[in-house]
Chains A and B, each alone.
Chain A
Amino acid sequence: MGRYILFRLVGSIPVLMGVVIAVFMMVRLVPGDPVKILTGGGARVTQEQQDALRRQLGLDQPLPVQFVSFVGNLSRGDLGTSYRSKRPVSDEIRSRIPNSAKLAGLALLITIVVGVLTGVIASTHKGSLVDLATMFVATIAVSVPGFWFGLMLILFFSVRLGWLPVSGADSWKNLILPAATLGLRSSAVLARVTRSTMLDVLSQDFVRTARAKGLRERIVIYRHALRNALIPIVTLVGLELGALLTGTFIVETVFAYPGLGLLGIQALQTRDFPLIQGIVLVTATIYVVANLCVDVLYGFLDPRIRYMS
């Protein structure tokens, strides 16, 4: 197992290098001049001023020179300095990660609990009104844009009922609506997969055997059937983690929640290249590590899976 993890970690390096190259090129290929943004659209700002700012930011250098500089700094753990705030990118990101971690963590919890439970219930009530209703709601939830869903939650729970704060990150209450926005949507996807996987498992012989042995239905479902259905569920959870990370860009904007996603949106709007690069790199790293964790989990869930000879 240790060798496998090491192998996967080493294997992640080319992936992250690819991300470094891709994000460096992409932010510079997208139209939008950071200097014009920084100077308020460039109105009444002389060309000399713009050129001076461009030199100061290193944007006057050829792309290969900029890239070598970027990679050189990266190898020393220096993600650069934000064009806008003039603060180190690593500090900017570090200050936002706890908020995003709390949000993504709670959203993931909602995804797993709601998604798996709903899927299991639907599968054990196949064809019933419960099954139809849960799958109908799940289909709607998957189809609804997170942006709109977040606003609806605000209107109902904050404006209408006054139960929860609209935006910000002042208390744990601020986490509920954005986490629900992210988590419920992902849980709908998970519920559908859980249902179909469970239906497949429930029709297998070992389930029939378990029932024939007189085991209680709850034990049959949760200890035997669900455990055997977990592989695709865990795979999907790993993928949904990526969706949660990207979803924070929208949801944190709607809820003015000061996390990595909101920072990313602001960096994109202002073409803050170092900050965009830093955020994408961190996000990609989290995604790679999360997928590694999923792979490792397979071994625990199914002892038949062996990683390396």
Chain B
Amino acid sequence: MSMIDRWDSSVDFMTRSIEIPELSRSLASRRKFLRLSAAVVASLGALPLLAACGGEDDETPAGSEATSPPDVGPTATAPTDSPTQTPDEAGGEPRRGGTIVQAEVADADNLDPHRYYTTFSSNVINLVCERVIQLTPDLELEPILLDSIEVSEDALIYTMHVREGVKFHNGDTLDAEAIAFSHARADNELAAYPGQFYGATWEVVDPMTVNMIMPEPNSGVILILAFTGCGIVPPNAVAEMNDDMSQHPIGTGPFMFKEWVPGDHATLVAFDEYQNPRPWIENPGRPHVDEILIRVILEEQTQIAELETGGVHLILMPSQQVARFEGNDDAYLIRNEQSTTTAYLAPVTQEQADGTHDWIEPFNDQAVRQAVGWALNVDEIIEGVLGGLAVRNRSTLPTGNPGYSEKFQDMGFEYDPDRAKQLLDEAGWVASSGGVREKDGQRLSIVFWSQAGATFERIGQLVQNYLQQVGFEVVYQGIEQAIFVDRRLSGDCHLVYSTYNWNDPDIVWWLGGDTSLPSGHYVKINPEFDEIAQQGWLVTELDERGDFYYQASKIMVEDGAMIPLWNPVFVDGVRAELKDFKHGAQGRRFFNDAYLEG
């Protein structure tokens, strides 16, 4: 079960899915996306893309996409493909009323759009608070609260023209002041990710125009504008709440916040004055349903039973249950097609006495790290444990991220236990009578951790088995989530199984540079990796970025600093009576067109 947001392993183990035909479509779309981006950048004067840290959400745009509304010439984009929706795509006449019930396995931390961390919070806030721009299901940017956005020649000033007639849930009217206030609030020291706008400041030009002023060019900032954590809120309401929206978010979205009972549920009600700006959504105004009830149900089996009995309309389907629901008359499955999560094994590093970082013995021997990669039958784990709901990936760049291409599969490891044994032999780790290899009297003995939980532990046990077959002695432990997050870098274990989620191709850098990760000090161990990966922030053209991340990923993988495994596929289980439920970008749920039949 998952209580933390998307970043980390523990948490969002199950993500969105990728099927090969859809992948091709997505990639084609992303190439277009980035060609447009390059055109914008050219028109802006070749601004360098710097580090895109801070923002997090599933919805945070990835890559070097620049955006603009339809009236801004070369940057204008229009959605070309239909969003993911129910099998009943033709749809009947939408019925008004009813409550859609959705289940989550974890609770919110808070509901302040600028100060939350968890997925549950994000799912609520996303329906309540809109951003100035957002991603379409095809990963193209579209204006939501703006008529247009213009970027100065020197790429230092982003001028946003506010859409007229947009109302907040409290009756206030959207204006430039609200946007400037919200962005500044999402960037200040109390925000979840302070400084995510790269030092931008905001200037209200007139009631419907606001300038975002950058200290230096950074086209990455425009992607932050689409991040759920940068929702637009009414300043007056925030002031009335003493700068604390954690209990009662207010925005311009299709649903208004009604109540949150921590640990139990959140209720949202349809916003009567909502005006939909998205062309790929049919409903122009108020959502068809009256309410959305988001319930916290920790136990997956209980969620399944609720879906079967109709008590809940929508759940994230556990991978082991997917096959059972295929062909089910009462519920259908929607596979999210854009996976930005990578699952991997990583040898843990430790700070040394001299301040440098190195792996813990025996993983300070590169051959031992590489042997792990060759020893694993990853395809068998995907089929046997995940029921095929994952895409094999030999690189550190998820297949759903911009910049990914087939060449990224040219690196990494295949299942070749003989090669693993050969590597260990050559490194002096020789087989002893008990089957465990030894070197200079030291046994090839490791402690291997994953998070506790049935799926995690089945994966862990298989990994343990593969490693033992080539001569490792492995103590495997499934560790409770909070302890896992706290202790995995403590030196108590040598190797961890984990996952990480990020949308930009710079995930390649973050996997080697986010110090909360077992592999996060690799930038200090290998300056070449750091230098090459950082080049990815300084260029805008997708193929060029991809080249840098390809090189960086290859360095990291072939050094055995990370053993990439797969990109998980996430599947929504939906009751048959819930019609026209759609996925937006990267699996984000949209209920504007949704209605309950019967």
List residues of chain A with CB under 8 Å of any chain B CB: 30-33, 36-46, 49, 52, 82, 84-87, 92, 95, 151, 154-155, 158-159, 162, 165-168, 253-256, 258, 262-263, 265-266, 269-271
A44 vs B500: C-alpha distance in the bound complex, in angstroms? Answer: 11
B476 part of interface (Cβ distance < 8 Å): no
Given contact pairs A256-B299, A256-B302, A33 touches B485 in the complex (Cβ within 8 A) = yes
User: Distance (Å) between the CB of A47 and the closest chain B CB?
Assistant: 8
Q: Do A40 and B309 touch across chains, with their CB atoms under 8 A apart?
A: no
A269 vs B11: C-alpha distance in the bound complex, in angstroms? Answer: 12
B336 part of interface (Cβ distance < 8 Å): no
Binds A, one of B133-141, B201-209, B259-267, B270-278: B259-267
A40 vs B12: C-alpha distance in the bound complex, in angstroms? Answer: 11
Residue of B nearest to A254 (CB): B299
Residue in B109, B194, B483 whose beta carbon sits within 8 Å of that of A31 in the complex: B483
Residue in A39, A46, A162, A263 whose beta carbon sits within 8 Å of that of B309 in the complex: A162
Q: Which of B183-221 contact A (CB under 8 A)?
A: 189, 192-194
20 contacts between A and B (CB under 8 A): A30-B483, A31-B482, A32-B485, A36-B482, A36-B486, A36-B516, A40-B5, A40-B8, A40-B11, A40-B117, A40-B118, A41-B11, A42-B485, A45-B516, A84-B262, A154-B305, A165-B311, A266-B296, A269-B481, A270-B482
Given contact pairs A36-B485, A86-B247, A167-B297, A159 touches B516 in the complex (Cβ within 8 A) = no
Given contact pairs A86-B110, A167-B311, A253 touches B486 in the complex (Cβ within 8 A) = no
Q: Do A37 and B482 touch across chains, with their CB atoms under 8 A apart?
A: yes
A40 vs B106: C-alpha distance in the bound complex, in angstroms? Answer: 12
Residue of B nearest to A40 (CB): B117
List of B residues within 8 angstroms of A33 by Cβ = 482, 485-486
Q: Do A262 and B4 touch across chains, with their CB atoms under 8 A apart?
A: no
User: Distance (Å) between the CB of A106 and the closest chain B CB?
Assistant: 20
User: Distance (Å) between the CB of A36 and the closest chain B CB?
Assistant: 5
List of B residues within 8 angstroms of A42 by Cβ = 485, 516
Given contact pairs A41-B516, A44-B516, A269-B3, A258 touches B264 in the complex (Cβ within 8 A) = yes
B7 part of interface (Cβ distance < 8 Å): yes
B252 part of interface (Cβ distance < 8 Å): no
Given contact pairs A39-B117, A154-B305, A269-B3, A256 touches B10 in the complex (Cβ within 8 A) = no
Residue in B5, B7, B54, B482 whose beta carbon sits within 8 Å of that of A271 in the complex: B482
Q: Do A265 and B298 touch across chains, with their CB atoms under 8 A apart?
A: yes
Residue of A nearest to B107 (CB): A266
Given contact pairs A32-B480, A40-B118, A41-B8, A49 touches B194 in the complex (Cβ within 8 A) = yes
User: Distance (Å) between the CB of B297 and the closest chain A CB?
Assistant: 4
Q: Do B483 and A32 touch across chains, with their CB atoms under 8 A apart?
A: yes
Given contact pairs A33-B486, A44-B193, A270-B482, A258 touches B261 in the complex (Cβ within 8 A) = yes
Q: Do A41 and B4 touch across chains, with their CB atoms under 8 A apart?
A: yes
4 nearest CB pairs, A to B: A32-B482, A41-B8, A40-B117, A43-B7
The majority secondary structure among interface residues of chain B is loop
A167 vs B297: C-alpha distance in the bound complex, in angstroms? Answer: 8
B517 part of interface (Cβ distance < 8 Å): yes
Q: Do B263 and A266 touch across chains, with their CB atoms under 8 A apart?
A: yes
List of B residues within 8 angstroms of A43 by Cβ = 7-8, 500, 514, 516-517
A95 vs B481: C-alpha distance in the bound complex, in angstroms? Answer: 27
List of B residues within 8 angstroms of A265 by Cβ = 298
Residue in A92, A95, A158, A256 whose beta carbon sits within 8 Å of that of B298 in the complex: A256
CB-based A-B contact count at 8 angstroms:
138
A168 vs B101: C-alpha distance in the bound complex, in angstroms? Answer: 12
B487 part of interface (Cβ distance < 8 Å): yes
Residue in B193, B482, B510, B514 whose beta carbon sits within 8 Å of that of A269 in the complex: B482
A151 vs B305: C-alpha distance in the bound complex, in angstroms? Answer: 9
List of A residues within 8 angstroms of B11 by Cβ = 40-41
List of B residues within 8 angstroms of A165 by Cβ = 309, 311
Residue of B nearest to A269 (CB): B3
Q: Which of B471-523 contact A (CB under 8 A)?
A: 480-483, 485-487, 500, 510, 514, 516-517
A282 vs B193: C-alpha distance in the bound complex, in angstroms? Answer: 37
A252 vs B514: C-alpha distance in the bound complex, in angstroms? Answer: 37
User: Distance (Å) between the CB of A176 and the closest chain B CB?
Assistant: 15
Given contact pairs A31-B486, A84-B262, A40 touches B4 in the complex (Cβ within 8 A) = yes
User: Distance (Å) between the CB of B176 and the closest chain A CB?
Assistant: 29
Residue of A nearest to B260 (CB): A85
List of B residues within 8 angstroms of A84 by Cβ = 107, 109-110, 262
A256 vs B295: C-alpha distance in the bound complex, in angstroms? Answer: 9
A52 vs B190: C-alpha distance in the bound complex, in angstroms? Answer: 10
Max chain A Cβ within 10 angstroms of own Cβ: one of B109, B192, B263, B486 = B263
List of A residues within 8 angstroms of B8 by Cβ = 40-41, 43
List of A residues within 8 angstroms of B117 by Cβ = 38-40
- Extra A-B contacts (9), CB below 8 Å, given A36-B516, A158-B309, A254-B302: A30-B483, A32-B486, A36-B485, A43-B514, A166-B305, A167-B302, A263-B263, A266-B263, A270-B482
Q: Do B262 and A40 touch across chains, with their CB atoms under 8 A apart?
A: no
Residue of A nearest to B53 (CB): A44
Residue of B nearest to A257 (CB): B264
User: Distance (Å) between the CB of A267 and the closest chain B CB?
Assistant: 9
